[in-house]
Amino acid sequence: MHIGLGELLIELTLMPLVAFIVGMLMVLMMRRVGARLQRRVGPPFFQPLYDIIKLHSKETQISHGLIHDIGIIMAVGGYIAAETLLPVPGMNGIAEKGGLITLLYVMMIPSLGLALGVGQCANPNGSIGISRALTAMLAYDIPFVIVMAGVAFIYGTTNLVEVINIQQEGGIAAWGAVQMPFMALAGLFALQGMLGKQPFEVYVAPAEIATGPMVEMGGKYLGGLFVMQCFQLYTASVLYVTLFLGGGENWLFLLLKAFAVLLIPISIAFLFPRFKTDDLVRLMWKWPVLLGLIGLVLINYR
Amino acid sequence: MNALDLLLLTSLGTVLFSVVFSASLTGRMLLTMLYAVQTVILFQIDAGTEMVSSFGFEIFNHALGLSFNGLSWFFALITLGSAFFAAWYGLNQQQKLLHVGLSANVFSMLVLLSAGDFLSLFIAWELVSWSGVLLMVLGKQESLVATLKYITYAIAGGMAVFAGIILIYSWTGSLAFNAVTENPLSLSQYGTLAILLIGGFSVKMALLPFHLWQAEAYALTSGPASVFLGAISARMGLFAIVITMMHVVDLKTLDSIFLIPELFTFRDFLIWVAALSIILPTYTALRQNDARLLLAWHGIGQGGYMMLGLLMYDQMGSAGGLLHVFNYASCQAILFMSVFSILHRTGTTNLNQLGGLVARMPLSFLAMLVGIIGLAGLPPMNGFVSKWLVYRSLLSDGMAIVFLASVIGTLGTILSVYKLMHNSFLGQLRVEHEHVKEAPWSMTVPMMLLAIIIFITGVMPGISLELVANAQSAIGLTPVDYHLGGVVSANSAISGDLDMIWVVLVLFSGFGIAAILFLSAGKSRRVHQLDNYAGGHFLNANNQYQYSDNFYAGLMHIIKPWYRYSFKWFEGAVVSFVNLAAVFSRSFFNQAHMLIWMLVVVTTVMAVAII
């Protein structure tokens, strides 16, 4: 599919913008679900937007140096770029010029940016938090990579546009979740870790603010990370839909599926106590990896 | 006299020049220029065709010849580039041995790269091995110990290679490169040659389990020497392995030698060696507290990717493996440069005694940032492209577990290089480093140039892929389908393209938008590093407010028991065995009636031979 440069530029602008808006809605949903589970009302509709505006317009903004600033810019910018690699209905952006492997690695840039920024803050608590966050990344990325290998193998491509086409042409029977249920389950585990939400959020948990990456983050720095979180929720859930649930036939279906996918981890989330970092590693390297490997064997002997 | 002759002569001339003139600064500047001159001469050689040198002589009726093809060209460019940057970086180093060693290494490597038959290959191989020693002994006492260890390994490897070459001669009666291809051998003979040659060459490459010597030998010496050794030296082993696969046992033959019948071939074995060479050294690097050793261990790990790519032997895999030689050399050189400029200014590379240097050495920081992004293989630096090619190849071949292993290596690299960066440049600046200055221009300028190279070849991998394509044609592979921004996968089992120009363009637009968002918000106020959250305590300059020791405590807690000392144990066992053999042979020779025993042995051997 060849499109003009102007059209491509519009896509490249729209894709991150839509991702941001949907991401804010996802944050809202997450908060509302959490509130309902705890028998609270939850925040109003525009609360995520209010939060972002509030944080960015604070009077006191504390910078610990240039790298602190650059780190936040990398964290947000990396995700903005990642959205253009993730095809959505009607818009492919540059998905065909990068593919799944590139997306995986572009998604690591925000983590690196955050890590750099926190490092420059010169607070040992922040550094401990980052060492935990990177360890967690190592933990959940291993099952995720197994899943990726399985997907590339079963569809015969690392091109996400083709992955979606194959699934949509074959109907529900061709969906990743039907073709490789073990992989889908392992992917769900990895997704939960990737979101950095309960019960795997020891490095950013509210109770751990003073001993985590957020310790020196305030104002627009925290605001930047809030924006990053919106992108993160959107990217992770849409990627899951793309790999396993046939992508989006149209925007309505895409959003329905993405919100449904996100609903699973966040409704389970509140049932479990928080995992310690090394327990998280043990858990991630045991069950999802096992499921993923079983999935791989099944794919091989299909 | 053709361009190749000129190149070899200039290189030899550089060695002589360095012996005489490297004591003065002007001499060292000219020496650096001489490497540039050699590079210019290299560009006069057409990489697409084979060029035969007019030098050559005969030994025992064997004509020794030197020739250059695309593969030699590719490695020669990296060698000369590394030497050029290392020499520039070392302009202020007055150790004469360093400059002589560097030029001698370059010369011997060029001879190795142009070797035209097995005998000249072996002679050049030994030259390379021994000239390496010159660069390794430049450090303190510890570097001598490491060098001795290197010599032991190198001799063992060299002997294995020698035995292999003798076998080739006795089986085929020729030492020419086409000896084996023209006289096919039996499978067991191929197997023996593969073990001897690939095993011997992989000592230099530091593939498992022959990797224990490399980190100390490369890291604990003088800075420019480390830059050069780390960047290219070990890759001569890779070159020799490629030569072996081209002329002695190709991958198809390796794939028909079964170690476990119907299940596990020699090639599978090598693939797993490569995969383990990625994982284990990378996680050893994660545990290092000395920045130099950390990098050197990564060097061993990255070698695994190159080997893995070559073992795939398809368009993309071999392109990735070869491209990674180039990309890795540039990243490792810049990282060593950055670390040694820290050593130059602070006197230590102990990661527990550094921190916060970004405020004092911003250019060295920038160099390290570019280097770690490249080494970890993240976009937009060049390391990403070569790893992407290797990954693609592994996925097309359905090697999911090996793919997983290589990604685990990359993740470990990210963790480890972040630790390197955090503990040296980020965090709290120590009191004793309050007045540290940026490294001198002679160090920062080559760093910045390398950073530009790493970035440009990351955005436009077509530049370096052209060289790789020439090397691929030279070893008889279909060259990769490349364009300026990346590759297209016309005929591979799994589709998926890469265009780095777009990826980087979008990435930087993303950064730009994020920056606008960031800057449009309220203006921030810069605070001192001691103006920090400390749980109610007041911080002052005497507080060590830095987290650096045992950086990934939670992870280490889990993975430490898995592989602790297993290879040290192996090495120890070999050493004990050799000791035992030495004790036996010494006591044998110390006997009063030694001659009688020798007579008995000789008679027995003769009797067996006659029967």
Note the pLDDT of residue B306: 93
Chain B residues with beta carbon closer than 8 angstroms to that of A63: 524-527
**8 Å CB contact of A135 and B422:** no
3-state SS, B101-136, equals: HHHHHHHHHHHHHCECEHHHHHHHHHHHHHHHHHHH
Is residue B73 very low, low, confident or very high in pLDDT (cuts 50, 70, 90)? very high
Chain A residues with beta carbon closer than 8 angstroms to that of B526: 63-65
Q: Tell me, what DSSP letter sits at residue B495? A: B
Residue B64 pairs in a beta bridge with B57
Q: Nearest CA to CA, how far is A278 from chain B (Å)? A: 5
Q: Which of B70-74, B174-178, B248-252, B592-596 is the most confident on average?
A: B70-74
CB neighbours of B515 closer than 8 A, spacing ≥ 6?
A73, A77
Is residue B45 very low, low, confident or very high in pLDDT (cuts 50, 70, 90)? confident
Q: Nearest CA to CA, how far is A293 from chain B (Å)? A: 9
A125-129, A131-135, B175-179: segment of lowest average pLDDT: B175-179
Q: Give yes or no for residue B158 having a pLDDT over 70.
A: yes
**8 Å CB contact of B509 and A300:** no
B510 sits in which H/E element: helix B500-520
Note the pLDDT of residue B553: 85
The answer to whether residue A162 neighbours chain B at the CB level (below 8 Å) is yes
CB neighbours of A192 closer than 8 A, spacing ≥ 6?
A140, A200, A265, A268, A269
The pLDDT of B455-468, averaged and rounded, is: 92
- Residue with tokens 């000791």, as numbered in its chain: B579
pLDDT tens, position by position, B257-287: 888 888 888 889 999 999 999 998 998 898 8
pLDDT tens, position by position, A160-216: 888 898 899 888 888 888 888 899 999 988 888 888 777 888 777 777 777 788 888
Q: Give yes or no for residue B563 having a pLDDT over 70.
A: no
pLDDT tens, position by position, A225-258: 999 999 999 999 999 999 999 888 899 999 999 9
Q: Nearest CA to CA, how far is B410 from chain A (Å)? A: 10
A36-45, B35-44, B314-323, B525-534: segment of lowest average pLDDT: B525-534
- Rounded CA-CA distance A35/A13 in Å is 34
* Chain-centre distance for alpha carbon A184: 16
Is residue B480 very low, low, confident or very high in pLDDT (cuts 50, 70, 90)? confident
Instruction: Between B47 and A139, name the one with better pLDDT.
Output: A139
- Rounded CA-CA distance A141/B191 in Å is 38
Note the pLDDT of residue A60: 87
pLDDT tens, position by position, A267-286: 887 778 888 888 888 988 89
- Rounded to two decimals, what is the model's pTM? 0.92
Please name the member of A80, A98, A127 whose beta carbon is closest to the beta carbon of B513. Answer: A80
Q: Nearest CA to CA, how far is A280 from chain B (Å)? A: 10
Closest-CA residue of A relative to B526 is A63
- Rounded CA-CA distance B604/A57 in Å is 95
Do the Cβ atoms of B297 and B281 come closer than 8 Å? yes
Residue B124 vs residues A221, A302, B115, B129: alpha-carbon distances, Å: 57, 51, 7, 8
Whether the upstream peptide bond of residue A199 has omega within 30° of 0, thus cis, is: yes
Note the pLDDT of residue B396: 82
- Rounded CA-CA distance A17/B420 in Å is 36
Question: Nearest Cα to A130, choosing from A143, A111, A144?
Answer: A111
Of the residues B316, B389, B401, B407, the best mutation for testing chain A's interface (the one with the most A CB atoms within 10 Å of its CB) is B407
Please name the member of B497, B518, B553 whose beta carbon is closest to the beta carbon of A220. Answer: B518
Q: Give yes or no for residue B492 having a pLDDT over 60.
A: no
Q: Give yes or no for residue B82 having a pLDDT over 90.
A: yes
**8 Å CB contact of A61 and B522:** yes
Q: Give yes or no for residue B430 having a pLDDT over 80.
A: yes
**8 Å CB contact of A153 and B499:** no
**8 Å CB contact of A145 and B404:** yes
- Rounded CA-CA distance A120/A126 in Å is 10
Note the pLDDT of residue B138: 87
Chain B residues with beta carbon closer than 8 angstroms to that of A72: 514, 518
pLDDT tens, position by position, B290-312: 999 999 999 999 999 999 999 98
Q: Chain A 84-143, CB below 8 Å of chain B: which residues?
A: 84-85, 93-94, 96-102, 105-106, 108-109, 112, 115-116, 119-125, 127-128, 130-132, 134-135, 137-138, 141-142
Please name the member of A57, A108, A153 whose beta carbon is closest to the beta carbon of B521. Answer: A57
Instruction: Between B338 and B584, name the one with better pLDDT.
Output: B338
Q: Nearest CA to CA, how far is A35 from chain B (Å)? A: 30
Q: Nearest CA to CA, how far is A117 from chain B (Å)? A: 9
Instruction: Between A82 and B396, name the one with better pLDDT.
Output: A82
Is residue B493 very low, low, confident or very high in pLDDT (cuts 50, 70, 90)? low
Q: Give yes or no for residue B495 having a pLDDT over 80.
A: no
Do the Cβ atoms of B110 and B8 come closer than 8 Å? yes
Q: Chain A 166-225, CB below 8 Å of chain B: which residues?
A: 210, 215-216, 219-221, 223-224
The pLDDT of A146-151, averaged and rounded, is: 88
Is residue A2 very low, low, confident or very high in pLDDT (cuts 50, 70, 90)? low
The answer to whether residue A12 neighbours chain B at the CB level (below 8 Å) is yes
Closest-CA residue of B relative to A228 is B514
Q: Chain A 250-279, CB below 8 Å of chain B: which residues?
A: 276-278
Chain A residues with beta carbon closer than 8 angstroms to that of B494: 152-153, 156-158
Q: Give yes or no for residue B33 having a pLDDT over 90.
A: yes
Chain A residues with beta carbon closer than 8 angstroms to that of B361: none
Do the Cβ atoms of A234 and A79 come closer than 8 Å? no
Query: What is the domain range of residue A233?
Result: 5-300
**8 Å CB contact of B418 and A112:** yes
What is the average pLDDT value for chain B, to the nearest integer?
88
The answer to whether residue A58 neighbours chain B at the CB level (below 8 Å) is yes
Instruction: Between A45 and B495, name the one with better pLDDT.
Output: A45
Torsion over CA: B164, B166, B167, B172 (sign):
positive
Exposure letters B457-487 (e unless 16+ CB within 10 A, then b): bbbbbbebbebbbbbbbbbebebbbbeebbb
Is residue B572 very low, low, confident or very high in pLDDT (cuts 50, 70, 90)? confident
Chain A residues with beta carbon closer than 8 angstroms to that of B407: 141-142, 145
Cα angle B441, B444, B448 (rounded to 5 degrees) comes to 130
Chain A residues with beta carbon closer than 8 angstroms to that of B426: 67, 116, 119-120, 122
Residue A63 pairs in a beta bridge with B526
Question: How many domains, in total, are found in chain A?
Answer: 1
The answer to whether residue A165 neighbours chain B at the CB level (below 8 Å) is no
Of the residues A123, A130, A194, A301, the best mutation for testing chain B's interface (the one with the most B CB atoms within 10 Å of its CB) is A123
